[in-house]
Structure 1
Amino acid sequence: MDYVMLPVARLKLGNTLPIDVWAPDGRLLLRRGQAILSEQQREMLHAHQACMTASDARAWQKSYERLINTLLQRGADLDAIMRAELPSELVETDYLSGAQVLGGWLDLQEILRGLLYQGEAAINPLPRLAGTESRALELLRADPDECLFILFQALADISLGYCATHALLSAVVCALTAEKLDMAAAAGGSLFRAALVMNIGMAREQDKLAMQSSLPTEAQRVLVREHPCKSVELLRLMGVSDEDQLDIVRWHHEVNESHGLAHNVMARRLLRLADGFVAKMAARKTRLAMSPLGAAKSVFLGATPDTASIGSAMATALGFYPPGTYVQLFNGEKAVVVARGLRANQPQVVSIVNAGGMPVSKYLYRETSNPRFAIRTPINAERIKVKVSLEKVQKARKEHTD
């Protein structure tokens, strides 16, 4: 039977255990429903190298991810989330997905957020990270436009938690840009994995910074500067041994390219630009989000010839108005971009607010190559007071293609 080490140090005395506890030789140490009642008992479990089955470990991790998601939906502050204990109960659905990571982009966001929050304390983290990577690449290959739409929409919803959305979107931007640069192998390997975990050293603080109404404190500024090193330390503790992935994470903020492994220079450049691009498109309490065009200009301002080529490829891969972002048309309507077009400045859009400022009940597909429906200007997500329905977007896209 496959066993996973029990996180004995994280268990609160008196709380019941939702899983059986085993020794590596198969001896049962505690039955589910029992509790650790003393420090002496905790030390005994350490001495016996207490374990749990791999299926129990995955289910417990899933229950923790569900708990974090519930706390966020209830508006709990980050301090309360940081104090959240491992759940004392599991439900049947916690076991359904087994070793495979299933679901859509928001399911992946929930799983990844739990792993980033817990770091080296996560239960059986590497298989979950591998499953998240595999499922993300599968979804990306199936429909890149829907992928961008969902993640850019999630980026504007701070209640979902910022750190995991930023990581997934950065990874996707890297993958799509790498394809344009003929770096497809890197997109599905070390670079993609590095993007998912580059900020694990400050994941909780990253969410806190996204929600706080004051400027970063000096301690937070120090953490932002030092988080690449901390991220690598945590990843090594988790068992990550891919030296290319660790190298890209360690130097993803560094402009001086003499550091790190020479063959990863292009991957580090790409991740640094994707990281900055996504960050500038995310709103903060202290500032509005930039438009995609504004973010691109800000990130690529003063670019070297090498980074300029990456910026050009990124603009080609995403378009000037990526799916999930908003625009105003020349006829006065406000629309959400639903897919990239043949030209970077002519995406596919559906109108969600009419020229009079009223929401429309049925989304209207608009052809932006038509001068009447051409894009006048991008719009910040904060200015859109309508909740966009993915179902209506999919219906409008389908009706247009049928």
Structure 2
Amino acid sequence: MNLVTVNTDTIRIGTPIPLSLWDVNGILIAPKGFVIRSQADLDQVVAQRQQLYIDVAESEVHRRAYVGKLRSMVTDEKALGEIAESQFSSFELERTRDITLSDEPDWLDLQEQTHAMLRDSNAESFCARLDKLQLQLNRHARTNPDGTLFALIHLSSTELRRYSATHAMLVSVMCSLAAREVLKWPAALEDSLCKAALTMNIGMTELQDRLAVQKEQPNLEQARQIEHHGARGLSLLMQRGVTDPLWLEAVVDHHTKTPGPLAVRSEAQRMARMIQRADMFAARLAPRASRTSESPASAMQAIYFDENRQVDAAGAALIKATGIYSPGSFVRLASDEIAAVIKRGSNTTTPRVAVVINRTGMPTGELIVRDTSKPDYKIVAGVSHRDVKVQINLERLLALTKPTATDRRW
């Protein structure tokens, strides 16, 4: 391990750290992607450890960023002496790298990354792929949560390709938003939750993709694999180097149906319940060869009550985080227009929408944005993706999901 000191002034509060933080003895303090919530938290760590370090061998990105920073100084015609004396922290370099990266996510590429990660049996490359994927999803969910939900719900609702990958990403993002925005879970617990959600079905990934296109009901052998995929997932994750007990327990128990409040459960069991409810939503949302999909609103309402027909705390948190009518879903308005939900609103039932079919049943040339909190445009019903028969311009709709200064959230 090649440790070098970090200038703590360059560590950004409230955003995922680009490289793992270590102490002088090589003990991990915070993994790559961890979010330091406040300056007070950072000051406390610094007071305890005196100095923080990063392993420059952790990422090839560090070297490329260093070279890029030097090239930038040459282009800016900096003095040769200034260039020679330059010292850049890893966090400054990662900030430079962030500026050069496109803020527009490539969702099909992320889908392929997830697909490959779930099938990777090599411990070193598996963990690296998972960390990279989680960092990207975390960044997109923070910078544009509405756009992230829109893309993943649209993918989940419209295609069977790479079903297991899309399903895992959607469940992970939903759990992340609920944990962070509603339940206010610590960043470390949120990170474990998201990784458990991404890998919840690793014990049946190939079977899950096969079942999505299979017209027949699962046979006896397939049913056996489904029943035991939690335990198999535990074994596979441990073989791949996962040691986080919360993550592992959540994967084992994510299909256990245990009604009751979240507050009385252990951290791992809270995670398992969150994943179980989000998993249920995503499964109802997705079409399969053997059945049609439900509308997002119908799927969301199904997770609101538990097995005893009581309000489910995990389901309620997910609904509050994503809305009953989530971005990426379609709705019918009181004006008899069909609209795509583009942003969550000031409460769970009043999102911002863009009309795609007018009241005469014709596609709109220009996307008309409506505020569903107004009586004339209130939502009267959810609409399934299969019932929207017009060609949708996804790029134009995704552009409308970007945050603005006037956005409101509950």
Q: With the length of structure 2 as denominator, give the TM-score of the two structures.
A: 0.68
Would the aligned equivalents of 2:285 and 2:295 in 1 still touch at CA under 8 Å? yes
Partner of 2:154: 153
Classify 1:298/1:306 alpha carbon distance in 2 versus 1 (closer, same or farther; 3 Å): closer
Q: Which amino acid aligns with 2:290?
A: T
1:288 is aligned, of 279, 288, 292, to: 292
Partner of 2:234: 232
Classify 1:307/1:197 alpha carbon distance in 2 versus 1 (closer, same or farther; 3 Å): farther
**2:219 pairs with 1:217:** yes
Partner of 1:124: 125
Q: How many angstroms apart in 1 are the aligned matches of 2:305 and 2:277?
A: 11
Secondary structure of the equivalent of 1:378? strand
Would the aligned equivalents of 2:230 and 2:253 in 1 still touch at CA under 8 Å? yes
Would the aligned equivalents of 2:160 and 2:287 in 1 still touch at CA under 8 Å? no
Partner of 1:113: 115
**2:139 pairs with 1:138:** yes
**2:305 pairs with 1:301:** yes
Q: How many angstroms apart in 2 are the aligned matches of 1:181 and 1:212?
A: 38
Would the aligned equivalents of 1:321 and 1:345 in 2 still touch at CA under 8 Å? yes
Q: Which amino acid aligns with 1:226?
A: H
Partner of 1:274: 278
Classify 1:396/1:274 alpha carbon distance in 2 versus 1 (closer, same or farther; 3 Å): closer
Q: How many angstroms apart in 2 are the aligned matches of 1:370 and 1:301?
A: 28
More moved, 240-249 vs 290-299 = 290-299
Q: How many angstroms apart in 2 are the aligned matches of 1:312 and 1:138?
A: 24
**2:382 pairs with 1:381:** no
Would the aligned equivalents of 2:257 and 2:307 in 1 still touch at CA under 8 Å? no
Q: How big is each residue's C-alpha offset from its partner over 1:283-305, in whole Å with a ceiling of 9 and x where there is no partner?
A: 22222222233223433434469
Q: How many angstroms apart in 1 are the aligned matches of 2:310 and 2:380?
A: 31
Would the aligned equivalents of 1:229 and 1:250 in 2 still touch at CA under 8 Å? yes
Partner of 1:372: 376
**2:327 pairs with 1:320:** no
Q: How big is each residue's C-alpha offset from its partner over 1:286-345, in whole Å with a ceiling of 9 and x where there is no partner?
A: 222222332234334344699722222221111110000011112221111001010211
Would the aligned equivalents of 2:200 and 2:251 in 1 still touch at CA under 8 Å? yes
Per the TM alignment, residue 237 of structure 1 is displaced from its structure 2 partner at its CA by: 1.5
What is the correspondence of 1:186-201 to structure 2 with a 5 Å cutoff?
186=188, 188-201=190-203
Q: Which runs of 5+ in 1 are unaligned?
A: 3-53, 56-96
CA RMSD of aligned residues (A): 3.1
Would the aligned equivalents of 2:157 and 2:286 in 1 still touch at CA under 8 Å? yes
Q: Which amino acid aligns with 2:231?
A: C
Classify 1:307/1:148 alpha carbon distance in 2 versus 1 (closer, same or farther; 3 Å): same
Q: Which amino acid aligns with 1:265?
A: Q
Would the aligned equivalents of 2:372 and 2:378 in 1 still touch at CA under 8 Å? yes
Secondary structure of the equivalent of 1:350? strand
Q: How big is each residue's C-alpha offset from its partner over 1:11-65, in whole Å with a ceiling of 9 and x where there is no partner?
A: xxxxxxxxxxxxxxxxxxxxxxxxxxxxxxxxxxxxxxxxxxx98xxxxxxxxxx
Partner of 2:170: 169
Classify 1:186/1:389 alpha carbon distance in 2 versus 1 (closer, same or farther; 3 Å): farther
Q: Which runs of 5+ in 2 are unaligned?
A: 3-58, 61-97, 260-264
**2:344 pairs with 1:343:** no
Q: With the length of structure 1 as denominator, give the TM-score of the two structures.
A: 0.69
Would the aligned equivalents of 2:255 and 2:276 in 1 still touch at CA under 8 Å? yes
Q: How big is each residue's C-alpha offset from its partner over 1:155-205, in whole Å with a ceiling of 9 and x where there is no partner?
A: 023243111111111011111111211214255321111000110111111
Q: How many angstroms apart in 1 are the aligned matches of 2:402 and 2:123?
A: 41
Per the TM alignment, residue 380 of structure 1 is displaced from its structure 2 partner at its CA by: 0.6
Classify 1:385/1:326 alpha carbon distance in 2 versus 1 (closer, same or farther; 3 Å): same
Q: How many angstroms apart in 2 are the aligned matches of 1:150 and 1:201?
A: 26
Fraction of identical pairs, as percent: 32
Q: Which amino acid aligns with 1:167?
A: A
